[in-house]
Amino acid sequence: MVISDKHILITGANSGIGKACTEYLAVKGFKIYAGARRQEDIEALNEIKNVIGLKIDVTNNQTIKEAFDYVKNENSGLFAIVNNAGIAIAGPLMDISTDDLINQFDVNLIGIHRITKAFFPLLLDSKGRIIMVSSNSGFFSAPFFGPYSSSKFALEGYSDALRRELLLYNVKVIIIQPGRIKTSIWDKGEELLGKYEGSIFKKEAYKIGKYAIEKGKNNSLNPSKVAKVVLTALKKKDPKNRYMIVPDKFRNKLLKILPSRRIDKIIKKELVKIKFSPD
């Protein structure tokens, strides 16, 4: 593969995993169309060699159309999309508003559909690749992370169907499943912790949320690990369908194979401990 000929679109390129992928792949010689929402982020991305910042809000068709027109007019072709932009909404499902749930899916699933559909003609021409940044929450649903994990489960289903629909067209769909990665997504989660004051689930949701955030901030992998795997997914002639990048591989493998009733029993024990502890 001649890397310097290959152009890649990355959404949510100004922060965390998207930024790490942008910087790493640009150093490797790829030309990056880097999507961001704010002007100052676009300008900062434009400062990086091999990177062109583009305004892209994955919930806004107009920005997607303008970005597509820009890329098409460049005549550069497009080898891959890294569908990275995402948000994480957490909290007890019985307290989550319909609007919050719609917002979660609008970014993490429908946003990916908008982007992929818009740029698909270019990927068909290049026999390119679609990289989906999913999560270990795309195969394990933790209590009080329902909105986020249901959006990632949906993304996994979407990606499996798309991969199979494209088998005859030489466009590959590859799912990346990171576990805890040290990014600002965890700071954003912190704002949600106090949100469910009157909820019957307040105590469990708060403790489990706080524990996850603590781990996400302090016991997590560097986003550069994901960038390296994305490079593999772009370069390998015959890439895997899924790449898991987690700090605790054994635990995640167990979560994939243990019967769900067994996992429920373990979770129930934890919930009981929290619910009936004195504080």
Q: Smallest distance, Å, CB 47 to ligand NAP?
A: 16
- Tell which positions 93-112 bind ligand NAP, by CB under 6 A: 107, 111
Among the candidate windows 9-17, 93-101, 156-164, 257-265, which touches ligand NAP by CB under 6 A? Answer: 9-17
* Residue 132 within binding range of ligand NAP, rule CB under 6 A: no
67: contact with ligand NAP by CB under 6 A: no
Burial classification of residue 244, based on how many CB atoms lie within 10 Å of its CB (0-12 exposed, 13-18 middle, 19 or more buried): buried
Closest CA to 58 of 132, 6, 1: 132
Residue 104: name the closest of 83, 92, 86, 85 by CA. 86
Q: What DSSP letter does each residue of 140-176 carry, written as one string?
A: ---TT-HHHHHHHHHHHHHHHHHHHHTGGGT-EEEEE
The reply on whether position 85 binds ligand NAP by CB under 6 A is: yes
- Catalytic-residue membership of 211: no
Pick the binder of ligand NAP from 16, 91, 147, 209 (CB under 6 A): 16
**Shortest Å, Cβ 84 to ligand NAP:** 5
Q: Which residues, 19 to 58, sit near ligand NAP by CB under 6 A? A: 37-38, 56-58
Number of H helices, E strands in the chain: 11, 7
Question: Closest distance between ligand NAP and the C-beta of residue 85, in Å?
Answer: 3
Query: Residue 82: which of 164, 176, 192, 200 has the closest Cα?
Result: 176
Q: Which of 24, 33, 148, 243 is catalytic?
A: 148
- Contact in structure between 148 and 88 (CB atoms under 8 Å): yes
- In terms of phi and psi (left: phi > 0; alpha: psi -120 to 50; beta: otherwise), the region of 180 is beta
- 209 touching ligand NAP, by CB under 6 A: no
Instruction: Please give the residue ranges that form the binding site for ligand NAP (CB under 6 A).
Output: 11-12, 14-18, 37-38, 56-59, 84-88, 107, 111, 133, 135, 178, 180-181, 183-185, 188, 216
Catalytic residues, which ones? 148
